[in-house]
């Protein structure tokens, strides 16, 4: 096989960014070109036109890729070799680099110290002792605290919003399907109230406590809504379990921290993340769908269907200025012209209109065009936010 060498014209095709490449691509191409020149690798030097080559060993290509740090730089090499294949089909392609982020070890040695381990074990032991007490001998606050602790430790509701939802439940809301009890917790997502309808299967201990404490919860809802109401109930319950005074939690966050220390060594990390609602977003199966899966499919009520229509987020009621409504309508119909030189805006309407034109006729970070509906949604949200903010600050739109 004859040796080959890339000409200046070929090098221009290999190394120059393409028409619709994002701006950051040029930076990586230049960086990769410098690395290939100084790599001491035959394929790297051939790609830069520094030498001719007869053969392109796969091992040599792998060695070149191993010299590059970061998935973006290695994928840039993949693209460069793909371009260079036009001029020599025997050139092997560089491997596709898949970025993987290794999560830190959840068993943090700073958290799992002797003091916290001892306090965590003491809390669990106190909970187990308190559960064995005669509930009739406990005060309502002690019983409620015992319910909250049981729901967190045995029922895996390890965050404040889930406990708040628990205190609003009525035992009459328990649904038994195939002999398994379940409840639905209405939780917020990113500020949207009751956006998540989480399916919760209470354990037997928590379920029995919930049934026993129904009247206590109803009578103390205003107390539990106070800043430290739930914490004081938990402290009272732990005191009945004879917890060491030094280990009494000073906050709900401390309660969850100590319970999580104990549970994290017993359960998979995925379940812990689900229980604490951290780094995981989930949606439970709809109630009627769940019943259908178990062979019991009642006809869903039309009003329920209307409420959860398409199970989507709803925007809260907002004051949308008329000019913004007209602008969004034009965006969806693509009736906004491109603006070459955007003049300095004098009004909020001019500012948002210029930005909308740039979005509609420009490209995303990856060089893709945005859909008109997407642009209209962006413009509406930002426009309403700025309009409300300026109106609140200055008393006028």
| pLDDT tens figures, 125-151 | 999 999 999 989 999 999 999 999 999
Domain assignment of residue 139, yes or no: yes
Phi-psi region of 250 (alpha: psi -120 to 50; beta: other; left: phi over 0): alpha
Give the number of other Cβ atoms within 10 Å of residue 204's Cβ.
9
Domain assignment of residue 105, yes or no: no
Residue 352: give the domain boundaries. Answer: 322-394
Question: In the prediction, which pLDDT does 145 show?
Answer: 93
Mean pLDDT on 87-110 = 85
Mark whether 127 and 172 lie in a shared domain. Answer: yes
Question: In the prediction, which pLDDT does 180 show?
Answer: 86
Question: In the prediction, which pLDDT does 245 show?
Answer: 92
pLDDT tier at 281, thresholds 50, 70, 90: low
Domain assignment of residue 199, yes or no: yes
Number of domains the chain contains:
3
pLDDT tier at 318, thresholds 50, 70, 90: low
Domain assignment of residue 307, yes or no: no
**Lowest-confidence segment of 11-15, 161-165, 305-309, 342-346 by average pLDDT:** 305-309
Mean pLDDT on 113-128 = 93
Q: What is the mean pLDDT of the chain?
A: 85
Mark whether 276 and 339 lie in a shared domain. Answer: no
Mark whether 288 and 332 lie in a shared domain. Answer: no
**Helix 114-131 vs helix 229-240: angle between axes, to the nearest 10 degrees?**
80
Q: What is the pTM of this model?
A: 0.57
Domain assignment of residue 306, yes or no: no
Mark whether 161 and 286 lie in a shared domain. Answer: yes
Question: In the prediction, which pLDDT does 396 show?
Answer: 45
Question: In the prediction, which pLDDT does 300 show?
Answer: 52
Mean pLDDT on 46-65 = 92
Identify which of 55, 52, 80 has the alpha carbon closest to the alpha carbon of residue 68.
Answer: 80
Is residue 327 within 8 A of residue 353, CB to CB? The reply is yes
Mark whether 65 and 134 lie in a shared domain. Answer: no
Q: Which position has the higher pLDDT, 11 or 299?
A: 11
Is the confidence at residue 48, as pLDDT, over 50? yes
Mark whether 152 and 273 lie in a shared domain. Answer: yes
Q: Phi, psi (5° rounding) for residue 184?
A: -115, 125
**Lowest-confidence segment of 74-88, 265-279, 332-346 by average pLDDT:** 332-346
Q: Which position has the higher pLDDT, 290 or 153?
A: 153
Question: In the prediction, which pLDDT does 392 show?
Answer: 61
Question: In the prediction, which pLDDT does 4 show?
Answer: 84
Mark whether 169 and 23 lie in a shared domain. Answer: no
Identify which of 382, 388, 370, 383 has the alpha carbon closest to the alpha carbon of residue 332.
Answer: 370
Mark whether 214 and 347 lie in a shared domain. Answer: no
Question: In the prediction, which pLDDT does 397 show?
Answer: 44
Write the pLDDT tens digit of every residue in 186-221.
Answer: 887 777 777 778 889 999 999 999 988 888 988 998
Which residues fall within 8 angstroms of residue 387, CB to CB, at 6 or more apart? Answer: 319, 321, 324, 348, 397
Is the confidence at residue 2, as pLDDT, over 50? yes
DSSP codes, 126-150? HHHHHHTS-GGGS-HHHHHHHHHHH
Is the confidence at residue 182, as pLDDT, over 70? yes
Question: In the prediction, which pLDDT does 64 show?
Answer: 93
**Lowest-confidence segment of 95-104, 210-219, 303-312, 353-362 by average pLDDT:** 303-312
Mark whether 75 and 119 lie in a shared domain. Answer: no
Mark whether 158 and 224 lie in a shared domain. Answer: yes
Question: In the prediction, which pLDDT does 124 show?
Answer: 94
Is the confidence at residue 263, as pLDDT, over 80? yes
Mark whether 208 and 337 lie in a shared domain. Answer: no
Is the confidence at residue 341, as pLDDT, over 70? no
**Lowest-confidence segment of 78-87, 313-322, 365-374 by average pLDDT:** 313-322
Q: How far apart are CA 294 and CA 288, in angstroms?
A: 10
pLDDT tier at 14, thresholds 50, 70, 90: very high
Q: Which position has the higher pLDDT, 318 or 80?
A: 80
Write the pLDDT tens digit of every residue in 228-258.
Answer: 999 999 999 999 999 999 999 999 999 999 9
Question: In the prediction, which pLDDT does 311 show?
Answer: 45
Domain assignment of residue 187, yes or no: yes
Domain assignment of residue 201, yes or no: yes
pLDDT tier at 36, thresholds 50, 70, 90: very high
Q: How far apart are CA 298 and CA 288, in angstroms?
A: 7
Q: Which position has the higher pLDDT, 121 or 293?
A: 121
Mean pLDDT on 331-342 = 80
Mark whether 336 and 238 lie in a shared domain. Answer: no
Query: Of how many residues is the chain composed?
Result: 397
Domain assignment of residue 89, yes or no: no
């Amino acid at each position: 096989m004859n040796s080959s060498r890339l000409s200046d014209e070929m090098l221009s095709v290999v190394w120059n960014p393409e028409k619709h490449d994002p701006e950051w691509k040029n930076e990586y191409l230049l960086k990769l070109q410098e690395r290939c020149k100084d790599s001491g690798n035959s394929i790297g030097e051939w790609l830069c036109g520094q030498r001719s080559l007869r053969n392109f060993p796969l091992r040599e290509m792998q060695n070149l890729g191993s010299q590059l740090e970061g998935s973006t730089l290695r994928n840039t090499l993949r693209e460069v070799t793909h371009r260079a294949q036009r001029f020599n089909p025997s050139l092997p392609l560089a491997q596709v680099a898949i970025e993987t982020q290794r999560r830190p070890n959840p068993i943090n040695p700073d958290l799992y110290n002797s003091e916290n381990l001892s306090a965590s074990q003491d809390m669990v032991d106190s909970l187990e002792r308190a559960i064995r007490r005669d509930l009739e001998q406990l005060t309502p606050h002690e019983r409620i605290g015992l319910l909250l602790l049981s729901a967190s430790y045995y029922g895996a509701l390890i965050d404040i919003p889930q406990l708040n939802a628990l205190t609003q439940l009525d035992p009459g809301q328990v649904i038994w399907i195939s002999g398994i009890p379940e409840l639905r917790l209405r939780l917020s997502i990113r500020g949207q109230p009751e956006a998540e309808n989480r399916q919760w299967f209470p354990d037997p201990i928590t379920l029995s406590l919930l049934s026993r404490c129904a009247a206590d919860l109803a009578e103390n809802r205003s107390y539990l809504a106070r800043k430290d109401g739930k914490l004081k109930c938990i402290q009272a319950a732990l005191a009945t379990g004879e917890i060491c005074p030094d280990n009494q939690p000073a906050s709900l966050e401390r309660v969850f921290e100590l319970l999580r220390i104990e549970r994290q060594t017993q359960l998979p990390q995925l379940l812990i993340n689900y229980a604490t609602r951290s780094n995981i977003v989930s949606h439970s199966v709809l109630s009627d769908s769940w019943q259908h899966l178990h062979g019991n499919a009642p006809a869903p009520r039309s009003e329920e269907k209307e409420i959860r229509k398409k199970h989507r987020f709803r925007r809260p009621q907002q004051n949308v200025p008329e000019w913004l409504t007209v602008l969004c309508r034009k965006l969806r119909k693509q009736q906004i012209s491109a603006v070459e030189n955007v003049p300095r805006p004098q009004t909020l309407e001019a500012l948002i209109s210029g930005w909308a034109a740039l979005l509609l006729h420009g490209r995303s970070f990856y060089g893709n065009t945005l859909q008109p509906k997407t642009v209209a949604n962006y413009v509406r949200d930002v426009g309403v936010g700025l309009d409300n903010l300026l109106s609140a600050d200055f008393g006028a739109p």
